[in-house]
Chains A and B, each alone.
Chain A
Amino acid sequence: MSEPAAIPAYVPPKARSLFEPHRLVLMAIFAVMIFCIAWFMRWDWIPQYSGKLVSGIGETLLMLFATTIVGFFFAVPIGLVQVTGPKPLAWLSLVFCTVIRGTPLLLQLWLLYYGLGSLFAQYPEIRQSFLWPYLRQAWPYGFAALTISFAAYEGEVMRGAFAGVPRGELEAAQAFGMSRFKMFWRIWLPRAVHRALPTLNGETVLQLKSTPLIATITVVDVFGVISRVRQDTYLTYEPLLLLALIYLCLTGLLILGFRTLENRIPSRGA
C-alpha cells in the first residue's frame, strides 16, 4: 500500500496563560463573590442541620437510583415491543408513553398520592393487608410516580435505540445460529444501550431534578430538608444557594459516571 501524501500536522494553538490580564480580573471578581457569600451571609445553621442534610441527600439519591433502575427495567420491554410487536402490545406501550409524557409529573404524583392514596384508605381489606404499613407512607407513591415517568421517557428512548441498531448486525447474529434470546441478550440490548447512553445520561440528570417534587407529598429529601431550614431560620438565599450547590455536585458526579461508562466502548462517528 502506498504512503498517503504528507498532510501538515495540525498544530493546536498554544494554550493561553492563566495569568493574562482579563483572566486575573475575572478570578478577582469571583474571589470577591465567594468572600462576600462566605462573610456577609449566614451559614451558622449548617452544623445544626448537617445530619438532616446528609440523610436528605441520601433520600434523594436513593429515590434517584431506585426509580431510574426500576424504571429502566420497564423501559426495555416498553421500547422493544414497539419495534418488534406484537401490535396490541406496541399500541399499548405507545399509549402509555404518550399519556405519561403528555401530562405533568406533579399531576401524576398528586393523582397517585392524594387520589389513589385516599382511595386505598377507604377499603378495610387494604387497611388490614400487610401492605398497609407501606401504603400509608408517602414514599411508595413518590417512588411509583417517578418510576412510571422514567419508564415512559426511557421507553421512548429505547424504542429509538432498538430500532437504530443496524439490521445487518442482527442478521449476522442470526446467520451464526444465535437463538432469539441470545441475539437479544448478547447483541441487540448491549448495542442499543450503548447507543442510548448519552441520552440516558441527560434523562438521569433530568430525573434528579424531578425528585424535589416528592417533597410536595411530605417525603423528606434534600429539598425537603432545605425547606425546613428556611421555615426554621427565616433565611431565604443561603439555604437555596446551598441546595443549588448540592444539585450541581450531584449532577457533575452523574455526568462523570456516565462518561466513564460511555468510554468503556470507544466509538467513532455514529
Chain B
Amino acid sequence: MTDPQEAIRVTDLHKRFGPLEVLKGISLTAKQGDVIAIIGGSGSGKSTFLRCINLLELPTAGSVAVHGETIDMKTDGQGGLMPANRKQVERIRSRLAMVFQSFNLWQHMTVLGNVIEVPIHVLGVPRDQAIATAETILKRVGLFEKRDVYPSFLSGGQQQRAAIARALAVQPLAMLFDEPTSALDPELVGEVLSVIGDLAREKRTMLLVTHEMKFAREVSNHVVFLHNGLIEEQGPPEQVFGAPKSERLKKFISSIH
C-alpha cells in the first residue's frame, strides 16, 4: 500500500480542458526531503500538474496521495472527478503550502496578518503562538521589519518572500512552488531564489515548477521534464541537464541557454 515516507504520490494523472488533454497520465512520487524540479516548455502542462496536486484543478482521472493518505475522489457525472470529502481536501490542502507566480498575498492584511491567517483560522493555533512563529519565519526571510506593512507597499521580491513566509507558517508537509520567480523583475529574482535555496538545503519536500534552469540544477535532487502532458525524461539533475537523452529535452535545454 502507500508508504508514509512518501510525501506525495501522484498516480496516472489525467487532466482535460474540454477537447484539450493537458495531462496524459503522469505518475510521480516525492519522498520526504525530495526537491523535485519540474521543467518544460510553455503549454507542457507543468503548472496544471502542480495545481492538480492540491486540487486547485480537478484532475479528470488519476489519484493523489499525501503522506500515505489518498484523496478520496468520486466521479462528477461529466467524465471528471470531484472530491468525495471536502473536509479531507481542506485538511490536506492546509498542509500543502503553495507559492504562486503572482504572489497572491491577501491585500487587506499586513505581512504579519497574511502569515498568521492560516495558522489561526484554519489550523486553530492560538494567536500569540502563531505570532511568535510568524515573527521567527519573517526574520528568516528578511521581512521582520516589514511585518506591519501592507503588501501593495512591497517590491515583488519582498511580496514573494512574504508569500513563502505564509507557506512556511503552516509547517507544510510539502511545498508547491508554481514559477515563483516568473513575475519578478530580473534584479529581484536572486533574493527569492536564495530563500528557496535555503529551504531546499534544509531537506524540505518541495515540488518546484521553474524556468530557472541553473537554479533547478543546483537545488533539486530530481528533475522532471514534461512535454505535451507526459513525462518525457526524468532523473538526477546532472543526468538530465548534463546528458539529456531525448531530442526534445536537448532542444529545450539549448533553447533556454
The yes or no verdict on A and B being binding partners is: yes
Q: How far is the CA of A187 from the CA of B105 in the complex (A)?
A: 10
Contacts of B102 in A (CB 8 A): 168
| Nearest Cβ on chain B to A253's Cβ, whole angstroms | 25
Contact (Cβ within 8 A) A176 B104 = no
Q: How far is the CA of A142 from the CA of B95 in the complex (A)?
A: 52
Report if A191 contacts B (CB, 8 A): yes
Report if A84 contacts B (CB, 8 A): no
Report if B47 contacts A (CB, 8 A): no
Known interface pairs A168-B102, A187-B106. Does A177 touch B153 (Cβ–Cβ under 8 Å)? Answer: no
Contact (Cβ within 8 A) A168 B104 = yes
Report if A202 contacts B (CB, 8 A): no
Which residues in window 148-191 of A have CB below 8 A to B? 166, 168-169, 171-179, 182, 186-187, 190-191
| Nearest Cβ on chain B to A156's Cβ, whole angstroms | 22
| Nearest Cβ on chain A to B133's Cβ, whole angstroms | 15
Report if A124 contacts B (CB, 8 A): no
Q: Which of A66-74, A98-106, A261-269 contacts B (4 or more CB under 8 A)?
A: A261-269
Q: How far is the CA of A194 from the CA of B153 in the complex (A)?
A: 17
Contact (Cβ within 8 A) B153 A268 = yes
Report if B184 contacts A (CB, 8 A): no
Chain A proximity mask over B94-129: 1 for CB below 8 Å, otherwise 0: 111110101111111000000001100110000000
Report if A34 contacts B (CB, 8 A): no
| Interface size class of chain B, counting residues whose CB lies under 8 Å from the partner chain | 20 to 34
Q: Which of B5-13, B85-93, B229-237, B240-248 contacts A (4 or more CB under 8 A)?
A: B85-93
Contact (Cβ within 8 A) A266 B153 = yes
Contact (Cβ within 8 A) B187 A267 = no
Contacts of A172 in B (CB 8 A): 98, 100, 104-106
| Nearest Cβ on chain B to A167's Cβ, whole angstroms | 9
Report if A36 contacts B (CB, 8 A): no
| Nearest Cβ on chain A to B87's Cβ, whole angstroms | 8
In the complex, the number of residue pairs spanning A and B with C-beta atoms less than 8 Å apart equals 74
Contact (Cβ within 8 A) B122 A178 = yes
Contacts of A191 in B (CB 8 A): 106-108
Contact (Cβ within 8 A) B90 A179 = yes
Which residues in window 237-270 of A have CB below 8 A to B? 265-270
Report if A1 contacts B (CB, 8 A): yes
Q: How far is the CA of A166 from the CA of B86 in the complex (A)?
A: 24
Contact (Cβ within 8 A) A174 B108 = no
B86: nearest residue on chain A (CB-CB)? A179
Known interface pairs A179-B90, A191-B108. Does A174 touch B152 (Cβ–Cβ under 8 Å)? Answer: no
Report if B56 contacts A (CB, 8 A): yes
Contacts of B91 in A (CB 8 A): 177
Q: How far is the CA of A145 from the CA of B119 in the complex (A)?
A: 44
Report if B252 contacts A (CB, 8 A): no
Chain A residues with a Cβ under 8 A of chain B: 1, 166, 168-169, 171-179, 182, 186-187, 190-191, 194, 265-270
Apart from A168-B103, A171-B100, A177-B118, list 5 A-B contacts with CB within 8 A: A169-B105, A175-B98, A176-B94, A266-B153, A267-B107
7 closest Cβ pairs, A-B complex: A177-B94, A168-B104, A177-B93, A172-B104, A175-B98, A268-B152, A177-B90
